[in-house]
Structure formats: C-alpha cells, structure tokens
Amino acid sequence: MLNLSQRLILGCAVLTGFTVWLGVVAHHGLASTGHATLAYLLPAAALLIAAATVISVLAPIRTLARDARLIARGNLEHRVEWSSRDSFGEIAVELNRLAVRLRDLRDSEAGRRQMEFQLSDAVLQSIFEPIIVTDGKGHVLKVNQAATDVLGEAATDRMALTTTPGGDKILSAIRDAVSMQKAVAAEGEAAMLPMRIGKQERSYRLRTTPMRDSEGRLLGTVTTLEDVTSLQDTDRFKTQFIAVASRKLRDPLTQLRRGLYALGQGFGGELRPLQAELVEAASQEAKKLDDLMADLIEVAELDTGKRDLQLERLRPLPALREARDRYCDEASRKRIRVEVKAYADLAFVQADRRALRSILDNLLSNALRYTPEEGEILLAAEEIKNFVQFTVRDTGRGIEAERLSTIFDRFNTFSESGTGMGLALVRRLVESLGGQIAVESRLGHGTSFRFTLPVAVVDAIRHPVEVG
C-alpha cells in the first residue's frame, strides 16, 4: 500500500511520461513544420509542472507532520501557523485545539498531582522525627533527612539495615505491619532503639503504621522513630526518686501500722466502739498505703534493672489454682464463683514464680473488686504457638472505651479503690518475662485481661553411652 507521498510521485511520473509522449508526437509534427525548439520545451515544462506539484503538496504535509510531532512530544505551547482555510488549514486548527486541551488537562490533573507530590515530599522532609516509607512488600520507597541522619545510607537499603543497630527491629516491625495490616508499636525496652549521631547517644521509640487506599487495600507502611531520649532521662530520674522516697517512707509507715495493730488488739487498753472503728479504718488506709509503696518499689526495681527475675519452668494450671485459693475467702463473701479452665498437661512457661503470682493477684483482685455479687470470674490458659495465653475474665460492670487506652499507665484512674499502680506493674512484669498483655471490655458486659508468657524451651539431655 503506497503512502500519500509515493502516490503523488507516481502520479507526477505518469503525468510526466504522458507529457513526454505527447511531446514526442508533437515533435514530429512540429519538426515537419519547422518549430523544433517548441517541441523540446514541452517535455521540460511538463517536468517543471510535476516537480512544482509535488513540492506544493508535500511541503505543507511535512510542516503539519513536524508540528504534530512537537505537540506529541509534550511541547503543548507550540502552535501550527496556517493562514489558508483549505483542508490543511482545518487540520492545523484541530491540532491547535488538541494542544490547548492537552495543556489544560496537564495543568489541571498532572499539575495537581505533581503539586501534591511535591507538597507531600516537602512535608515528609520537614518532619523532625525519622520517617521511613515502604510499599506493600516492605521495600523502602522514601526516607526523610532525619532518618538519613540517624541510619545513614542504610535507611534506603534493606540489606544494610540488617547490620545497622536497631535495623532488625525496624524491619521486623515493617514485616509485622504488612502481614497483620495493623499498626505495630514496640513497647517497653524492645521499643528503645539506641542510635548514635556524632558523639551523642539517642534513644528512639519505634512505631509502624500501614497505609491504605479508599477501598482499604494495603499501599505500604510508614515507620516513625520518636526521639524519647529526654523523656527517658526524665523517667529514669523520676523512677529513682520514687524508689528512694518509697523506701524512706516505708519504715515510718511500718511503725505506724504496728502501732495501729497494737491499739486494735487492745494492748493499749480497751477501746470504745467509735475508737475501735477509727483504728480499723486507719489500719485499712495504712495497708493501702503500704501496698502502694510495695508496688512503687517493685516497678522502680523493674525500670532500673535491680529486680532479678528467677526464671523457671512453671505449669499454668497449678499457678491458676493457687491464685484462686488465695482469694477464695473474698470470693465466698461476695458469693462470686471463680472457675479455673486449663488442661493439666499444658506446656510449661518460662517465668518468675513471684512475678507470675503478682500478675495473677493484681488481675484477680481487680476482677473481684468490680464484679457484683453472684457474678463469675474465669481463670483460663491455652497454648498459642510458642506462647501460653492466660485469661482473667469477669462479669463486672466493664470499662469505658475512652479509658482503655490509659488503663496500664501509672496512677491510672481505673483502680479507684486500689493503688493505681497494679496494672502498670502487671504490664511491666509481663513484658519483662517476654510476653504481652491486652484488655477487652464493654461497659455493662464485663472485662477480659489476656497476657502471654513464652513456652519453656526443653533442654536437650545427653545420656552417657557405655562402650562394650
């Protein structure tokens, strides 16, 4: 199939040939009449006319093709200059109109996207905290300058992150956020990523959050490293102060409790009913204060690393039964049924006996405090992968949704009649043992506390083999 240029050349060639043939015929006729020069001019004129026709037709086509090529390459400011109103003029007008529409579309859509991209990039770079953005497969897409300052060139290289201090924790959090498609925030000591910038040692708290589109599909993750160096220093000072103050206050408090006990037992003489009631009330308040001191000292010891955990292999079922037996009298007074549900051959857990007892006592005492008479409390345990999950569930009044996020904070307002430190201590103990704790509750439908402890690893035993 011939294109337009080839067709024009072929047509002109045929016209030229036909003209030459006519010239030859006319030459013989004109030569016989004495007009030989005119016979030679006819073919030459035909050739000139054919060449002019080809040039006059192909030149504007090439011009239009060049203009269209410029527009197609993105030069939307270019315009086709054509003065005549023939078919080529109509083509020129449509090309100009197309360029205008494409430019408007680019300015309105692509320009807006480019502006949004530049704005988001500027916002990312302006954030003081280190931020790492990945795609849905965990590949690093973008980091801000703060992340580069902390992690160096490893911030954009997954392989380099594995050998960078704290990099394995970052990659683990990204993998968890991608697989579970929910925010992952490391807690306790696991959250602290010590990083060195120059001669300064900084500590960061890690948090990874998944990104989703409008339809809920996973797009990637955003990892934030929050600088908590100053907060950590303040918290360490506060912990040391509380520990020292608690120990200094405990001695006079002990003497006070002894004096109240002696008065209540009648060692100072017989008390009148009102006096006995006041002494009993003072003794109860002194007991609460002593419990607060004990919790404060234990939390401070955990925070400062002075609490040595004696890890051993413990069976979950006996631990639950012992906790129930310690509170059976209080449960009987309130006519609350405490049920234990766990298999006897459940896997051993690796835990500190005193710590596990403190965890269960705090959770069970809270459950008894907020469960009405004729209520029920369930103590259960089950094995989940490499952990044993303990459950303390009650049929009490439940907890308001807005209070759940701060329930494990120190001096929380959940334990109005307790010390306010019990759940904070429980959380620190669980985390120190390598587990996690969570709470579920609905107002009027009871509360469930669940915590995990790692399964004890079975040590390989080598038996001697006699030779012979």
Task: Specify the pTM.
Answer: 0.50
Per-residue pLDDT at 359: 92
What are the DSSP E strand ranges found in 158-254?
184-185, 192-197, 200-212, 218-227
Per-residue pLDDT at 408: 81
What gap in Å lies between CA 174 and CA 186, rounded to an integer? 11
Q: Is 11 exposed, middle or buried (0-12, 13-18, 19+ CB in 10 A)?
A: middle
> What are the angstrom distances between the C-alpha of 177 and each of 16, 127, 204, 333, 434?
79, 22, 18, 47, 20
Per-residue pLDDT at 320: 94
Mean pLDDT of the chain: 77
pLDDT (average), residues 435-463: 82
CATH fold label, 233-304: Helix Hairpins (1.10.287)
More confident position, 291 or 46: 291
Of the ranges 26-30, 218-222, 251-255, 455-459, which one carries the lowest mean pLDDT score?
26-30
Going by the DSSP 8-state scheme, the letter that residue 26 receives in this structure is: H
Q: Which structure tokens are listed for 49?
A: 């006319």
What gap in Å lies between CA 249 and CA 297, rounded to an integer? 11
Does the pLDDT value for residue 305 go beyond 70? no
Q: Which structure tokens are listed for 461?
A: 């035993």
Give Cβ neighbours of residue 96 (< 8 Å, ≥ 6 apart): 79, 80
Nearest residue to 405 via CA among 417, 413, 393: 413
Residues 413, 418, 421, 424: is their CA dihedral positive or negative? Answer: negative
What gap in Å lies between CA 390 and CA 437, rounded to an integer? 9
Does the pLDDT value for residue 379 go beyond 70? yes
Nearest residue to 133 via CA among 195, 178, 189, 166: 178
What CATH number belongs to 311-454?
Answer: 3.30.565.10
Residues making up the chain, counted from first to last: 468
As a dihedral over the C-alpha atoms of residue 69, residue 70, residue 74, residue 77, rounded to 10 degrees, the angle is -140
Helix, strand or coil for residue 389?
strand
pLDDT (average), residues 84-95: 75
- Domain residue limits, the chain: 4-73, 127-227, 233-304, 311-454
Partners of residue 197 on adjacent β-strands: 200
The set of long-range contacts for 143-147, using a CB threshold of 8 Å and a minimum separation of 24, is 147/225
Q: Which structure tokens are listed for 311?
A: 């890890």
Per-residue pLDDT at 94: 81
Nearest residue to 225 via CA among 134, 150, 121, 138: 150
Strand order in the sheet with 376-384: 337-341, 376-384, 387-394, 447-454, 437-441
- Given the candidates 3.40.50.150, 3.40.50.720, 1.10.150.120, 3.30.450.20, the CATH classification of the domain at 127-227 is 3.30.450.20
Q: What is the pLDDT of residues 154-195, one digit of tens each?
A: 667 766 666 676 677 777 777 777 776 655 555 444 456 666
Going by the DSSP 8-state scheme, the letter that residue 467 receives in this structure is: -
Per-residue pLDDT at 261: 86
Pairing mode of beta strands 387-394, 311-314: unpaired
Contact (CB, 8 A) for 420 and 289:
no
Q: What is the pLDDT of residues 213-236, one digit of tens each?
A: 888 788 888 888 887 777 767 767
Q: What is the pLDDT of residues 263-273, one digit of tens each?
A: 888 887 888 88
Q: Between vectors from CA 367 to CA 239 and to CA 380, what angle results, nearest 5°? A: 100
What are the DSSP E strand ranges found in 139-255?
140-143, 184-185, 192-197, 200-212, 218-227
> What are the angstrom distances between the C-alpha of 122 and each of 60, 119, 125?
48, 5, 5
